[in-house]
Amino acid sequence: MKSNILVIGGTGKTGRKVVERLQDLQQNIRIGSRSANPSFDWQDPTNWAEVLKGIDKVYITFQPDLAVPGALKAIETLTHNMKNSDVKKVVLLSGKGEKEAELCEQVIIHSGIDYSIVRASWFMQNFSESFFLDSIVAGHVALPNADAKVPYVSTDDIAEVATEVLLDDQQNGQIYELTGPRLLTFSEVVQEISIATGRDIQFTPISLPAYSDIMRELQVPEDFIWLINYLFTEVLGAQGNDVVTSDVEKVLGRKPVDFSDFVRETAKTGVWNQVMPHQA
């Protein structure tokens, strides 16, 4: 049975993969992004009712993170709009171990709309598509909280779980915590990438204030620096965030992608062997 599904963040790390899977399953998709028509902008709710018109189900990813100031208000406003439309089901991508994100979850849970919550650990793809890529390409990674052990999860697994729970009403009311199959420190991550690429990539532990100073020197926006500080303190340091779950297997009936498999496949793309403009 076909549904009309809005994928908010449909061009992002998990959203674009959810879109691909839903299209393969012949579902009717509307992408929620600033470049779409009608456009969806988290900063401007004036046309959200138009974006939601005729939509049965919604997959929500909030940029840059549900922990940031303003996210709760935005989720409340979106939920109000969804209740005034024909939306019957919501799947929210949340963060594992983020108290602020859990406040946003509660808005969805108590909305009266059927829901599933997908809490994800840190993405494996953060090392190939996001904040850590440049330093890996440069050959020198310096990060705080070096001893933190993280059960990195693949965005492919997140997208597959999100697609499954969107379409299966037996998943209504469930909260899933998605992780990969094992814990890794930053040093172990860098070592695996170094071996797979045949490159000498160094890892150096660094204090959080020093890391923040580096970001400011690189003219990283202050709100992003705030988020990085939050993630490295509240999330990486949170009790229970170094726990491996079986929720990917529970939903999909298979083991989650292992970090080594992600590294091997990603190394083939050459993304970690590119020459940065300042190196040329």
- Note the pLDDT tens digit of each residue in 222-255: 988 999 999 998 888 666 778 999 999 999 999 9
At residue 238, the 3 state secondary structure works out as coil
Domain assignment of residue 36, given as a range? 4-121+153-179+243-256
The CA distances from residue 236 to 67, 104, 144, in Å, are: 14, 20, 10
Nearest to 124 by CA among 263, 27, 232, 246: 263
Query: Tell me, what's the pLDDT at 279?
Result: 46
Indicate whether 160 belongs to any domain: yes
For residue 278, being part of any structural domain is answered with no
The confidence score (pLDDT) of residue 277 equals 52
pLDDT for 61: 98
Query: How are beta strands 175-178 and 114-120 bridged, if at all?
Result: parallel
Question: Burial level of 88, CB count in 10 A (0-12/13-18/19+)?
Answer: middle
3-class secondary-structure state, position 32: strand
Identify whether 25 is part of a domain.
yes
Q: What is the largest CA-CA distance in the chain?
A: 56
What's residue 195's pLDDT?
A: 97
Q: pTM (2 decimals)?
A: 0.95
- What is the rounded CA–CA span in Å between residue 184 and residue 242? 9
Phi then psi dihedrals of residue 195, to 5 deg: -65, -45
E strand or H helix at 262, and its extent?
A: helix 259-269
Can you give the pLDDT at residue 239?
67
Would residue 220 count as lying in a domain? no
106 inside domain:
yes
How much is the pLDDT for 280?
40
Rounded Cα–Cα distance for residues 253 and 92 (Å): 21
In a domain, 43, yes or no: yes
**Domain-located, residue 175:** yes
Tokens standing for 253?
A: 């009936």
What is the pLDDT at residue 235? 83
Name the domain count of the chain: 1
Euclidean distance between CA atoms 200 and 178, whole angstroms: 31
**54: Cβ–Cβ under 8 A, 6 or more apart, which residues?**
4, 86
Taking 50 as the pLDDT cut, the residues of the chain under it are 278-280
Residue 24 belongs to some domain of the structure:
yes
CATH number of residue 33's parent domain: 3.40.50.720
